[in-house]
Structure 1
């Protein structure tokens, strides 16, 4: 039976680049994203090995459909919580941060990854699967105006570390892909030229090396897997 992955935020950016590489390797990918039109284009490109689930990670019903789709596939070897919410653009300082927006950022970036893990844990254990939560250097660097997104990613880092301690049978990683040429990064810098940032397709191979090599659980950056060397 072919290996199966869940990738959230699969219709664009790193999620799309990773989905393409996994399908190329013969995996089945269950891809979740909010935009049905974009997901349909990905499904048309990648074929039957890509199973499109239109939905939002913050919606319990959509998460339930995601878990049901994985259960119907019969196994789950990889969970990549890639979907993220930046928050307001331009990004405000914390003293002016709308609290309703902050709650929305945390629901997407912290609560949803845990909820998806909870609903798929039994499948991951049965298959000896891997969990990767996509992080950010904003989780560890106090960049002005990044307080909402950065603090949510810091919470996700700690959540991932604790999950790894509680479930040593499942490798749990945070993967920081660095700056990329994506819509979300453009929203973080409205009006700026971000053409010098790496394309997500150049980052996906490093993420795949993390998944293949399964180092000790922890937080890793794209630079840690820029070559075949694994620390």
Structure 2
């Protein structure tokens, strides 16, 4: 006798910046929990390795490129839409970290494009599927968005804008869960570039942080800003 009970469709997530750091750790965690994944990052070779490890569909490219975002949206549509969008890709901005009085404005504009405009554009491009599937958006933020750390003004203001974007989106799209997640300091290349290898070595491994985010998605608390 055959079992005619319909199978539950697998949940689909798009994770940006997934070739290393938190993005890679989260891709591993979601894969282990049965999610099917679309992953993207600029480094094609590292991204392909991540795809082989997690069974993900790799779409290499730069999220600040509108053509690449269109490609990601097409792949998401081929999967029937997203249950989860993780806007993790981003840039630190100017390094070494300059005071705002000396911040190069062209670099700041690039940081806004990467950390604010690209996440919003991906949300816009995938929102129809997220609405239909009662999905969720995770925007990775930072405590630099809310604390006045010297030298972190450029990066912090982009993350503050991302926080506000998340709050407004949650009000405008009540059927979609929206969290801006502050993962705390992590042992990543970005942190090492900002504070040096020695200080960064004492931070948590991204593999410790990824289960916290995956648990958040599965618990589905009220939309808002979440700190680990």
Question: Which of the five TM-score ranges fits, normalised by the shorter chain?
Answer: over 0.9
In 1: Cα distance, 2:144 partner to 2:82 partner? 30
In 2: Cα distance, 1:10 partner to 1:120 partner? 18
Unaligned 5+ runs, structure 1: 223-231
Q: Among residues 31, 53, 64, which one is paired with 2:39 in the alignment?
A: 31
Identify the residue that residue 14 of structure 2 maps to in structure 1: 6
Unaligned 5+ runs, structure 2: 1-8
Q: Secondary structure, in 3 states, of the residue corresponding to 1:54?
A: coil
Identify the residue that residue 65 of structure 1 maps to in structure 2: 71
Alignment of 1:154-193 (within 5 A): 154-193=160-199
Checking the alignment, whether the CA contact within 8 Å between 2:39 and 2:51 is kept in structure 1 is no
Is 1:148 matched up with 2:170?
no
In 2: Cα distance, 1:211 partner to 1:191 partner? 31
In the TM superposition, what is the alpha-carbon distance from 1:193 to its structure 2 partner? 3.6
In 1: Cα distance, 2:152 partner to 2:110 partner? 15
Is 1:215 matched up with 2:221?
yes
Checking the alignment, whether the CA contact within 8 Å between 1:29 and 1:51 is kept in structure 2 is yes
In the TM superposition, what is the alpha-carbon distance from 1:189 to its structure 2 partner? 1.2
Q: Which has the greater radius of gyration?
A: 2
In 1: Cα distance, 2:143 partner to 2:78 partner? 36
In the TM superposition, what is the alpha-carbon distance from 1:191 to its structure 2 partner? 4.7
1:29-63 C-alpha deviation (Å, 9 max, x unpaired)? 1001000010111122223xx01010111000000
In 2: Cα distance, 1:184 partner to 1:194 partner? 9
Paired positions, count: 220
Q: Among residues 201, 211, 218, which one is paired with 2:207 in the alignment?
A: 201
Q: Secondary structure, in 3 states, of the residue corresponding to 1:30?
A: strand
Checking the alignment, whether the CA contact within 8 Å between 2:81 and 2:126 is kept in structure 1 is no
In 2: Cα distance, 1:191 partner to 1:39 partner? 24
In 2: Cα distance, 1:149 partner to 1:182 partner? 16
TM-score (norm 1): 0.93
Checking the alignment, whether the CA contact within 8 Å between 1:89 and 1:190 is kept in structure 2 is no
In the TM superposition, what is the alpha-carbon distance from 1:194 to its structure 2 partner? 1.9
In 1: Cα distance, 2:53 partner to 2:131 partner? 31
Identify the residue that residue 227 of structure 1 maps to in structure 2: none
In 2: Cα distance, 1:160 partner to 1:85 partner? 18
1:147-172 C-alpha deviation (Å, 9 max, x unpaired)? 10000000000010000011111111
Identify the residue that residue 3 of structure 2 maps to in structure 1: none
CA RMSD of aligned residues (A): 0.9
In the TM superposition, what is the alpha-carbon distance from 1:192 to its structure 2 partner? 3.4
In 2: Cα distance, 1:76 partner to 1:153 partner? 24
